[in-house]
């Protein structure tokens, strides 16, 4: 059932091109140029009546929500708050009938996420679930559902669910931006066309998986790894750090590049690995300054960049290249080497990759 792979996790990592294609294809108009959501069928008024969006989720799904904030605020200009479900429930949130609550959950069964959805509904919010499991509790509770078509995800560490959540959320941002007039048809088509290239472009990353494996071997006895990034790469840094902790049991932290000086730099000493995500062109120069700050303390820096980068490569020790794409699309591919790094680190450390200690696939207790 692992289809020749050693673990479910690596099988699921390699299934991402198909999962992404399946999540995309039913939501692209026949001419390939615009987004459609038959399951939502919203009018401009449906979008214009949204005062703010509350995204609520746990773990990896929460990290997808962090990126969705960038997608929606930049493309549709609607304010977005992102909350961890277990925090949302207890903070007396400002949610009312003008709020659209977006709930993200692979399993559709996470108890805190389900409870947050109920709480948002109790306060009068409209609700939309992004989930991977048809007929799950969350899909039944929400007013509307957008399914990610990732197929069953068995490994505890979430991989293809996350990338398909990003795809669904980016499509949703494009859809809302077009409906409320914040996004031009040309920009929509541009991003959508880049998104449609992703399944094929993933092959490049898979072809270079051995480079990531070598890094995992190099870092296997390290006690701490830092992930840094700016803008959408910061959200991805959080996902990269979670993945590494969860299955390799190496302590990892994510920091926004600009925050390093405000404390974390004290931890950067000789030989500490820093994974520097620098795929976002608008903040590239700032990332290069951050990389120099950690290099000056003798960190071992892995730069993750778009494949035509020349500048970051000059400042780092190792480089991982990601096929070039639109800024909004980059995260969907950039996360894959981070998943591979966590996977190979767990394998070389002899861990139970698919069933990491103390964790369950779906958290149905509080
Ligand atoms: O099924 P859900 O998406 O609601 O699960 C949420 C988290 O428990 C989950 O993403 C968890 O963080 C993963 N194991 C991370 O890889």
pLDDT band per the 50, 70, 90 thresholds, residue 275:
very high
- Kindly state if the Cβ of 58 falls inside 6 Å of ligand 1: yes
Predicted pLDDT at 27? 98
Q: Report the residue among 85, 105, 106, 343 best suited for mutation to probe ligand 1: largest number of ligand atoms under 8 A from its CB.
A: 106
Q: Report the residue among 12, 55, 57, 60 best suited for mutation to probe ligand 1: largest number of ligand atoms under 8 A from its CB.
A: 60
Our answer to whether residue 361 is catalytic in this structure is yes
Question: What ipTM did this prediction achieve?
Answer: 0.98
Nearest CA to ligand 1 atom 11: 59
pTM, two decimal places: 0.97
Question: Max alpha carbon distance in the chain (Å)?
Answer: 57
Question: In the chain, count of helices (H) and strands (E)?
Answer: 13, 10
Predicted pLDDT at 363? 85
pLDDT band per the 50, 70, 90 thresholds, residue 366:
confident
Predicted pLDDT at 360? 86
Predicted pLDDT at 365? 81
Of 236, 263, 256, nearest to 328 (Cα)? Answer: 236
CA of residue 84 to ligand 1 center, whole Å:
12
User: Taking all residues of the chain, what is their mean pLDDT, rounded to a whole number?
Assistant: 96
pLDDT higher than 90, residue 51: yes
pLDDT, tens digit (0-9, with 9 covering 90-100), for 164-187: 999 999 999 999 999 999 999 999
- Kindly state if the Cβ of 111 falls inside 6 Å of ligand 1: no
- Kindly state if the Cβ of 61 falls inside 6 Å of ligand 1: yes
pLDDT higher than 90, residue 263: no
């Amino acid at each position: 059932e692992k289809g020749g792979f050693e673990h479910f996790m690596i099988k699921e990592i390699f299934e991402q091109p198909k999962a992404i294609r399946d999540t995309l294809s039913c939501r692209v108009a026949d001419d390939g140029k615009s987004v459609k959501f038959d399951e939502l069928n919203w009018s401009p008024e449906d979008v214009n009546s949204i005062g703010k969006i509350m995204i609520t989720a746990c773990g990896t799904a929460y990290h997808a929500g962090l990126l969705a904030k960038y997608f929606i605020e930049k493309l549709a200009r609607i304010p977005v708050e992102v909350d961890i479900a277990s925090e949302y429930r207890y903070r007396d949130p400002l949610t009312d009938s003008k709020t659209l609550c977006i709930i993200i959950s692979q399993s559709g069964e996470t108890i805190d996420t389900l409870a947050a959805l109920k709480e948002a509904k109790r306060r009068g919010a409209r609700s939309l679930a992004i989930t991977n499991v048809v007929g799950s509790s969350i899909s039944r509770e929400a007013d509307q559902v957008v399914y990610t078509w990732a197929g069953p995800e068995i490994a505890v560490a979430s991989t293809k669910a996350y990338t398909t959540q990003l795809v669904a959320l980016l499509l949703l941002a494009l859809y809302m931006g077009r409906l409320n007039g914040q996004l031009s048809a040309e920009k929509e088509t541009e991003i959508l066309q880049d998104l449609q290239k992703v399944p094929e472009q993933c092959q490049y990353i898979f072809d270079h998986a051995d480079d990531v494996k070598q890094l995992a071997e190099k870092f296997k006895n390290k006690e701490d790894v830092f992930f840094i990034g700016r803008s959408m790469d910061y959200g991805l840094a959080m996902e990269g750090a979670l993945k590494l902790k969860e299955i390799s049991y190496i302590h990892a932290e994510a920091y926004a590049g600009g925050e390093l000086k405000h404390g974390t730099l004290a931890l950067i000493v000789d030989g500490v690995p820093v994974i520097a995500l620098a795929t976002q062109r608008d903040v590239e120069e700032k990332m290069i300054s951050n990389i120099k700050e950690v290099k000056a303390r003798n960190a071992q820096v892995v730069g993750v960049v778009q494949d035509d980068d020349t500048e970051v490569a000059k400042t780092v020790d190792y480089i991982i290249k990601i096929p070039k794409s639109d800024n909004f699309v980059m995260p969907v591919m950039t996360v894959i080497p981070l998943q591979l790094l966590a996977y190979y680190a767990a394998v070389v450390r002899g861990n139970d990759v698919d069933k990491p200690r103390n964790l369950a696939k779906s958290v149905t207790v509080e």
